[in-house]
């Protein structure tokens, strides 16, 4: 039997030479009585597609059929279906005259020339679209946001909802589908061994057991636009600094403002927040963490000892970060939210001190009562606190907004005021839920139980005051 052109194509696969060309070698056309050509094929059509791509095997089939081999013989030789060969030939017939002339000619094909025959490549069997998925314009909105901040699907949906997007269109499932199709991922910074180390054991942490305290310069040129930066920097009526106290468990925050930084303001603002919590029935032992700024203890062990002696009667221990910035990540991240969600969008509506106080009060209530947080399973701080058993969570979250210079006289008298009130009772036991049956040691060594069994709504503080009055 004569050696046919099919044998030359099949037993010697084309390879690119040093000049980047592919040579397809042909000999005499096969005769019609060639019945054992399939035995000369080393690799089947499917295996060749996996090894060389889908274009080159189809080019060989086209040239073999054009050289005189029937479609049935070609299908048998390449171990594929006759319909597959027919589909390849129909694709060849749909090509232009120039492309067909190049395919049937006995000339070398460069790699660039082969790319012209993309119509021969395998087509994806994935559906072209889904009526329940996001449209191109809707996906472009997600791509624009992701380009600025590489966040995950859950935070992306929260961000879009804050911008007023339709919640029925941008569902979590559709956003996740867009992330999968576009290959979007969230930026994550982890340790070298890929572990995630939380700052606390949040499952065992009680509400208001760990408080973080820090200050923020409102006129921050790295965060505000030029116009807002100049407004907050030059206005004599607007405050310059923001004071923040945040609970690690519930993410609840208490804010105050001032035009100057001083250790007096830092001490008395913390004392005011403690009095606020004690007045609402929060009697747990607290630990407050802050950095070594001059508005606190200036990283001085002597000043830290003085502060601890001052706050000891109130059941509070203060600590410093010792230069470890990672321990301040929680509150620093909230300062970024202040810039992005309060000062930038609402700063243009603030011109006077009254405007600032009104906007700041709305921002505090929004953060504590309405804004969901991904760190607490998408709940608001008030919802998280209510789940822990605090029936007055909404009242605790409605912290008043003030400028510290305006209440300087009241801050001076605050220690004497707290000394006259029996609110310095602290539970020696930690508790996740204020409705548990723990005992409270009061004056006179008398023991009282929280009024749950008798369904009395009298608070522990009222029991204590009534007992002392009697």
pLDDT category of residue 239 using cuts at 50, 70 and 90: very high
Quote the pTM value: 0.60
CATH code where residue 311 lies: 3.30.420.10
Q: Residue 186's pLDDT is what?
A: 84
Q: Are residues 337 and 465 in the same domain?
A: no
Q: Are residues 403 and 259 in the same domain?
A: yes
Q: What is the mean pLDDT of residues 371-383?
A: 90
Q: What share of the chain has pLDDT > 70, as a percent? A: 75
Is residue 187 in some structural domain?
no
Q: Are residues 143 and 65 in the same domain?
A: no
Q: Are residues 142 and 116 in the same domain?
A: no
pLDDT category of residue 100 using cuts at 50, 70 and 90: confident
| pLDDT over 70 (residue 286) | yes
Is residue 250 in some structural domain?
yes
The model's pLDDT over 187-219, given as tens digits with 9 standing for 90+, comes to 776 666 666 677 888 888 999 999 999 999 999
Q: Residue 64's pLDDT is what?
A: 87
How many independent structural domains does the chain possess?
A: 4
For the ranges 9-23, 112-126, 366-380, the one whose mean pLDDT is highest? 366-380
Q: What is the mean pLDDT of residues 78-102?
A: 86
Is residue 42 in some structural domain?
yes
Is residue 158 in some structural domain?
yes
Q: What share of the chain has pLDDT > 90, as a percent? A: 44
Q: Are residues 114 and 148 in the same domain?
A: no
Is residue 446 in some structural domain?
yes
Q: Residue 352's pLDDT is what?
A: 94
Q: Residue 427's pLDDT is what?
A: 52
Is residue 432 in some structural domain?
no
Of 314 and 459, the one with more pLDDT: 314
Cβ atoms of 462 and 470 within 8 Å: the answer is: no
| pLDDT over 50 (residue 13) | no
The model's pLDDT over 20-37, given as tens digits with 9 standing for 90+, comes to 444 444 334 444 444 344
Q: Residue 130's pLDDT is what?
A: 78
Q: Are residues 34 and 167 in the same domain?
A: no
For the ranges 112-126, 183-197, 275-289, 441-455, the one whose mean pLDDT is highest? 275-289
Q: Residue 421's pLDDT is what?
A: 65
Q: Are residues 361 and 445 in the same domain?
A: no
Is residue 401 in some structural domain?
yes
Is residue 55 in some structural domain?
yes
Q: Are residues 111 and 178 in the same domain?
A: no
Q: Which domain holds residue 171?
A: 136-182
pLDDT category of residue 52 using cuts at 50, 70 and 90: confident
Q: What is the mean pLDDT of residues 110-122?
A: 67
Of 461 and 377, the one with more pLDDT: 377
pLDDT category of residue 115 using cuts at 50, 70 and 90: low
Q: What is the mean pLDDT of residues 318-335?
A: 87
For the ranges 1-5, 29-33, 94-98, 168-172, the one whose mean pLDDT is highest? 168-172
Q: Are residues 91 and 149 in the same domain?
A: no
Q: Are residues 384 and 261 in the same domain?
A: yes
| pLDDT over 50 (residue 238) | yes
Q: Residue 194's pLDDT is what?
A: 63
Q: Are residues 392 and 252 in the same domain?
A: yes
- Report the DSSP pairing between strands 447-449 and 439-441: antiparallel
Cβ atoms of 253 and 398 within 8 Å: the answer is: no
Q: Residue 394's pLDDT is what?
A: 95
Q: Residue 42's pLDDT is what?
A: 65
Give the C-alpha separation, 118 to 174, whole Å: 32
Of 420 and 373, the one with more pLDDT: 373
Q: What is the mean pLDDT of residues 339-357?
A: 93
For the ranges 90-104, 126-140, 152-166, 219-233, the one whose mean pLDDT is highest? 219-233
Q: Which residue, of 87, 120, 153, is where some domain finishes?
A: 120
Q: Residue 191's pLDDT is what?
A: 63
Across the chain, mean pLDDT equals 79
Q: Residue 453's pLDDT is what?
A: 37
Q: Are residues 12 and 41 in the same domain?
A: yes
């Amino acid at each position: 039997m004569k050696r046919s052109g099919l044998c030359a194509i099949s037993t010697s696969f084309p390879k690119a030479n040093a000049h980047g060309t592919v040579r397809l070698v042909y000999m005499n056309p096969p005769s019609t009585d060639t019945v054992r050509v399939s035995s000369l094929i080393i690799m089947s059509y499917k295996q060749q597609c996996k090894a060389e791509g889908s274009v080159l095997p189809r080019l060989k089939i086209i040239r073999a059929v054009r050289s005189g081999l029937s479609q049935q013989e070609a299908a048998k030789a390449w171990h594929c279906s006759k319909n597959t060969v027919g589909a390849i030939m129909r694709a060849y017939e749909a090509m232009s005259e120039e492309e067909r002339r190049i395919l049937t000619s006995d000339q070398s094909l460069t790699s660039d020339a082969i790319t012209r025959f993309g119509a021969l490549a395998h087509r994806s069997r994935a559906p072209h679209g889904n009526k329940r998925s996001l449209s191109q314009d809707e996906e472009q909105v997600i791509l624009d946001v992701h380009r600025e901040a590489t966040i995950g699907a859950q935070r992306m949906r929260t961000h879009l909802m804050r911008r007023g997007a339709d919640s029925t269109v941008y569902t979590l499932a559709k956003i996740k589908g867009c992330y999968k199709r576009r290959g979007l991922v969230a930026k994550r910074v982890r340790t070298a061994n890929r572990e995630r180390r939380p700052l606390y054991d949040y499952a065992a942490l009680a509400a208001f057991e760990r408080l973080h305290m820090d200050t923020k310069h409102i006129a921050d040129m790295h965060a505000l636009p030029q116009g807002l930066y100049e407004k907050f920097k030059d206005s004599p009526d607007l405050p310059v600094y923001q004071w923040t106290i945040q609970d690690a468990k519930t993410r609840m925050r208490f804010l105050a403002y001032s035009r100057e930084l001083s250790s007096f303001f830092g001490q008395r603002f913390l004392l005011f927040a403690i009095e606020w919590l004690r007045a609402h029935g929060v009697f747990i032992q607290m630990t407050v963490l802050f950095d070594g700024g001059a508005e606190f203890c200036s990283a001085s062990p002597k000043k830290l000892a003085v502060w601890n002696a001052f706050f000891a009667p109130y059941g509070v221990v203060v600590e410093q970060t010792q230069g470890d910035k990672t321990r301040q990540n929680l509150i620093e991240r909230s300062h970024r939210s202040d810039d992005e969600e309060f000062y930038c969008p609402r700063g243009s509506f603030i011109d006077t001190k009254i405007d600032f106080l009104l906007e700041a009060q709305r921002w505090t209530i929004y953060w504590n009562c309405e804004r969901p947080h991904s760190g607490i399973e998408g709940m608001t701080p008030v919802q998280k606190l209510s789940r822990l058993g605090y029936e007055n969570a909404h009242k605790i979250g409605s912290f008043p907004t003030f400028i510290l210079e305006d209440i300087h006289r009241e801050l001076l008298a605050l220690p004497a005021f707290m000394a006259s009130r029996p609110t310095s009772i602290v539970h020696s036991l930690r508790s996740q839920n204020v409705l548990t049956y723990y005992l409270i040691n009061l004056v006179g060594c008398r023991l009282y139980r929280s009024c749950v069994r008798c369904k009395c709504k009298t608070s522990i503080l009222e029991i204590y005051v009534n007992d002392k009055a009697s």
